[in-house]
A and B are shown apart, each in its own frame.
Chain A
Amino acid sequence: MTLDEIDHKLLRLLMRDAAQPSSQLARKLGLSQPATWRRIKALREAGVLRGQRLVLDAEALGFGVTVFLGVKLATKGRVSLEDFERTVTAIPEVQTVEHVLGLYDYRLRVVARDLADFERVLRRRIMTLPGVGDVEANVLLSEERRPGPI
């Protein structure tokens, strides 16, 4: 799919606020509402727009700590990767799991109420995962998402 400048602007607007009414989007883009809808639909069908994400204030909900873990598997083999992935994705405190190439095999984003709660998750849930080896933890201090090259 080739995108033009208006598609890029539409994506940037939706990445900031996906809940705004299409009349408002149309006005910002200088398009009619049906034309705006057609563009949104085309972006969805091309798989560029994958839906929405609800942004919640983790701290207000009692999750004061976010930790990124680099995990190395001690034993590798097809079966152990599948076992590890199945078990790790089922942990509610684990928000994202990425299979990576480099110093670690997996990158996990974990939320916890506080550091004591994080220690509990780490000891009871993460260190007991099948095949888990070295684990490195980095506590998130700040985070900012950029619009990226669009």
Chain B
Amino acid sequence: MLDDMDRRLLRLWQAEPELTLADLAEACGLTAGKAGRRLDRLRADGVIKGQVAAVDWAALGYAVQVSLRVTLDKTAARAFDDFIAAARQVAEVIEIQTFLGRVDVRLSVVARDLPHYQTIYRDHILTLPHIADIESLMTVAVVKAEEALPI
């Protein structure tokens, strides 16, 4: 079970993932040793899954990001499995999500520019199996990106 101090540690660390253990401990009024033990326990319990680097695709030359909302042909028994397995083979797909709702699967696709996107879309996306319908949303601006939990 998490107590208030655990939540406080996670809240502060989530807001500033680059904080050192010493800074984090001090902000919570703990010794580095005590804070470290709490974080070790949260890791062992699976509450903290890890730290990952955030990559800026635009800075890497991928200026275009498109969200593709896919409806699958559910009369095919393995529609989800086949579609997802094939989507994993497309290098430009950076996210695969499945949903309960009007949309079955959503893919996030990055491309260098619009002609590049058109090539990916025609040659690698439209050829994916069991697509019944597909809608595109092009990202104009990311207004909020931290993905923080309201702990």
Q: What is the interface of chain A, defined by CB distance below 8 A to chain B?
A: 1, 3, 11, 14-19, 46-58, 60-61, 63, 68, 70, 85, 88-89, 92-104, 106-107, 109, 111, 136-150
Contact = CB atoms under 8 A, between A and B. Distances in A.
Given A19-B50, A98-B139, A102-B136, A68 B99 contact: yes
Contact of A57 (B46, B60, B148): B46
Given A56-B151, A61-B10, 8 more contacts: A15-B55, A48-B55, A52-B51, A53-B54, A101-B137, A138-B103, A144-B95, A145-B94
27 contacts: A17-B50, A50-B55, A53-B52, A54-B17, A54-B51, A55-B49, A55-B52, A56-B10, A56-B14, A56-B48, A58-B149, A60-B46, A61-B2, A61-B47, A95-B147, A96-B145, A98-B140, A100-B67, A100-B137, A101-B137, A138-B103, A138-B106, A140-B97, A141-B97, A143-B98, A146-B94, A148-B93
A103 B147 contact: no
B142 interface: yes
B18 to A, nearest CB: 6
B47 A18 contact: no
Size category, B interface = 35 or more
B41 interface: no
A20 to B, nearest CB: 9
Interface in B89-106: 91-103, 106
Interface of B: 2, 10, 13-14, 17-18, 45-57, 59-60, 62, 67, 88, 91-103, 106, 110, 135-151
Contacts of A146: 88, 93-96
A148 B51 contact: no
